[in-house]
Structure 1
């Protein structure tokens, strides 16, 4: 079962919510699920082929997220707009929130974007996505559950001419509870090269994991899956099945049911995000 919040100004759903049981103990997040654009933005002046690239969204992650939610009966929140419109995995003050240039592509619709337009996109797309996550966390906490957060992303197999050897990677900051279990579990599969904060570092201030995991003391991690492995429905289902097999024993561990304050390598947690 899915639902979407509609932007009252344009009737556009900023996010997709997949219903699931709070008792599952797991909340899936998919920050770059879609390359969709509201009609009034067109393609931001880009050829449609550019939106189909990794700069437009994280290829394969929506299918993995929905498949995993279906198998585990857990809730999920997926974005419903391209990261080129505005990136929900960046803080509102991040200079890369609205990209003017992405992997060699100039984005005409963002090239001269004003602060007023950025504020409009924050209000219409960025904040509703985060509010949906907050609502799911609140629902699970009200049910007496400390939710474990898993954000699902993907990365391009080759970056600037250099092949990437990892099949998957786990990104994390200072809280190792979930990330250590995921890294060890994936490596124990025997057929995967697993990165530990590679090819990206997990300490990004005010990103989704910082805002909803670190700042709340909730166990959390971000998984990156190489896009050639989930570039079709068969690959998406295979990774959803793999994760559905690995995750349940991790979720039952006692340390995953506690609120803890680990802090962040990016600096102190902003009090505005702290919750009890």
Structure 2
């Protein structure tokens, strides 16, 4: 039976989509690159539609995986409703790649003339409200008496610049080991999986989403990257939800995930 995922929310309606879940669950899911939609006023940013179907437009499969894990485990979640080509919510406000003019060989005409005023406009309308919603849910969860952990869900291309990537998934993290290391160990217990430790990317990025909401607040956090071809359809999403749901349920019982602890980022050393 195919999964009945809820339809995407338009960025013309709201810059984020929230699943309220159980506020006392102890785990919040965030999904920075959930959508490849663009607000009507920005048209198509000068790109053909097929470019938005690539990884440069969004992280393939992550919205459905987020929705399914939130449904199974009754978790709150926050997802973007706009393409990362408009503005990237996983980048800090001072990051030069916040608005991309060139992405994996694709020139983005609608971003070519973005000046500071337009950059600020996009930040105020899309980037900041998303992060404010993450903070709102975290504050509610903290107020419930059960300090939350954060799981960020991303996906990556199976081939990069002609080189196949061997990992089925990767766990990205900075300096707080409480969530990523047991998550990594649980996935690596499956002999059929190749799981990267800070591969295919490094989880230390100053002022990114996990730095802002995890490291800076002392909240335990981990970022999982799943290879896009493995979650590109309903069957793949189901397989990864089947795999991740019991792991997350077990790890969520660990008391160390539900304490505020200071861990200095590698970016600050």
Scaled by the length of structure 2, the TM-score of the pair is 0.95
For residues 124-180 of structure 1, give each alpha carbon's deviation from its aligned partner in whole angstroms, at most 9, with x where no partner exists.
000000000000000001101111100000000000000000000000000000000
Counterpart residue number, 1:260: 261
Counterpart residue number, 1:40: 41
C-alpha distance in 1 between matches for 2:40 and 2:241: 32
C-alpha distance in 1 between matches for 2:136 and 2:10: 16
C-alpha distance in 2 between matches for 1:152 and 1:241: 15
Secondary structure of 1:170's aligned partner: strand
Could you list the runs of 4 or more consecutive aligned residues of structure 1 that deviate by over 6 angstroms after TM superposition?
4-7
Scaled by the length of structure 1, the TM-score of the pair is 0.93
Counterpart residue number, 1:195: 196
Range with greater deviation from structure 2 (230-239 or 212-221): 230-239
In the TM superposition, residue 71 of structure 1 has moved relative to its aligned partner by 0.4
Give the count of matched residue pairs.
Answer: 265
TM-aligned CA distance change 1:83 to 1:6, over 3 Å: closer
Residue 244 of structure 1 pairs with residue 245 of structure 2? yes
For 1:121-200, list aligned pairs within 5 A. Answer: 121-200=122-201
Counterpart residue number, 2:217: 216
Secondary structure of 1:24's aligned partner: coil
C-alpha distance in 2 between matches for 1:44 and 1:186: 39
C-alpha distance in 2 between matches for 1:122 and 1:237: 34
Counterpart residue number, 1:231: 232
For 1:61-140, list aligned pairs within 5 A. Answer: 61-140=62-141
C-alpha distance in 2 between matches for 1:73 and 1:186: 22
Unmatched runs of 5 consecutive residues or more in structure 1: 269-276
The RMSD of aligned alpha carbons is: 1.7
Report if the CA contact (8 A) 1:63-1:237 is conserved. Answer: no
For residues 90-136 of structure 1, give each alpha carbon's deviation from its aligned partner in whole angstroms, at most 9, with x where no partner exists.
00110000000000000000011111000000000000000000000
In the TM superposition, residue 6 of structure 1 has moved relative to its aligned partner by 9.2
In the TM superposition, residue 66 of structure 1 has moved relative to its aligned partner by 0.2
Secondary structure of 2:240's aligned partner: helix
